[in-house]
Amino acid sequence: MAIKSIELVSGCIAKAADDEPVFVLRGQDALAGDTVRDWARRALEAGCPEAKYFEAIELADKMDAWPNRKLPD
């Protein structure tokens, strides 16, 4: 599961170039889970490993379970 403390040190955020565009979805975002599921489906159809798909689906489920969800601000 991707969490802030890990992503900043060794995850995709840490690996991104200083000037590389990134897009972050938070667990509190009511749209995040479905957005991640859509990405996971597209990634699988494009040939990404099934393990990456299932990792994303697990993360989407955890996002949906996050308390105090709201629309992006």
Which DSSP state fits 68? S
The pTM of the full predicted model, rounded to 2 decimals, is 0.88
Residue 9 counted as domain residue: no
**Domain limits at 53?**
31-64
Residue 11 counted as domain residue: no
Domains in the chain: how many in total? 1
Residue 3 counted as domain residue: no
Model pLDDT for residues 30-68, shown as the tens digit of each residue: 999 999 999 999 999 999 999 999 999 999 999 999 999
Dist. CA 35–CA 59, nearest whole Å: 11
